[in-house]
């Protein structure tokens, strides 16, 4: 499909216009975070030398600069501290209502994680409501592999959703 006004971009992928992270191993040393998401795990990195857990995941410990890190699980459930609902004027790429919440997952450093809330109509959420991790597919990343052609690298991303009572 041609790009309006820029016919030379027909069937080409411009990563500078991609709203999702470049999650593939070839472009991201924290690719394991996204692989864990695919297994339903919400994870981050912990320093095996000084013990610091960082969110989001890193390739060096921001405290002691060690590269000796491991992935650890964060809770998949939390409570809403505060939330906002955007009904009109939702930006391209998102559906109305666009709900954002600060979520307390109960452990450091995830006591105030900002996330989108999905699978939830406007006007029903309350402060203190319990929410759980929701993983969903996003468009695959087309990677130019030279002679092998373009390989599609599957991607997922996360939000939180109300826990059904």
Tokens of 81: 């501290």
Minimum CB separation from other proteins for residue 146, in Å? 26
Residue nearer to other proteins on the CB measure, 9 or 81: 81
Q: Select the residue interacting with other proteins from 42, 47, 69, 83 (CB under 8 A).
A: 83
Q: Select the residue interacting with other proteins from 36, 41, 100, 150 (CB under 8 A).
A: 100
- In the sheet that 43-47 helps form, which strands lie side by side, from edge to edge? 53-54, 43-47, 69-73
Q: What is the size of the binding site for other proteins (CB under 8 A)? A: 34
148 binds other proteins (CB under 8 A): no
110 binds other proteins (CB under 8 A): yes
Minimum CB separation from other proteins for residue 115, in Å? 6
Q: Select the residue interacting with other proteins from 2, 6, 50, 90 (CB under 8 A).
A: 90
Determine the Cα–Cα distance for residues 83 and 48; give it in Å rounded to an integer.
35
Q: Select the residue interacting with other proteins from 47, 69, 113, 141 (CB under 8 A).
A: 113
Tokens of 154: 């599957």
- Of 63-71, 88-96, 129-137, 145-153, the window that binds other proteins (rule: CB under 8 A) is 88-96
91 binds other proteins (CB under 8 A): yes
Chain residues in the site for other proteins (CB under 8 A): 5, 16-17, 19-21, 55-56, 81-94, 98, 100, 102, 109-110, 112-116, 157, 159
């Amino acid at each position: 499909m041609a790009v309006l006004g820029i016919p030379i971009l027909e069937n080409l992928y411009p990563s500078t216009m991609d709203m999702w992270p470049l999650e593939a191993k070839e472009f991201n040393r924290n690719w394991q975070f996204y692989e864990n998401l695919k297994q339903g795990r919400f994870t981050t990195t912990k320093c095996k030398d000084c013990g610091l857990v960082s969110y989001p995941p890193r390739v060096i410990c921001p405290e002691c600069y060690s590269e000796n890190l491991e992935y650890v699980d964060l809770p998949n459930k939390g409570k809403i501290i505060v939330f906002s609902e955007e009904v009109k004027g939702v930006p391209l790429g998102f559906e109305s209502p666009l709900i954002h919440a600060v979520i307390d997952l109960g452990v450091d450093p995830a006591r105030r994680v900002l996330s989108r809330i999905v699978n939830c109509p406007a006007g029903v959420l309350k402060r203190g409501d319990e929410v759980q991790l929701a993983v969903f597919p996003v468009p695959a990343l087309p990677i130019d592999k030279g002679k092998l052609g373009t390989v599609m690298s599957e991607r997922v991303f996360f939000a939180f959703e109300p826990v059904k009572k």
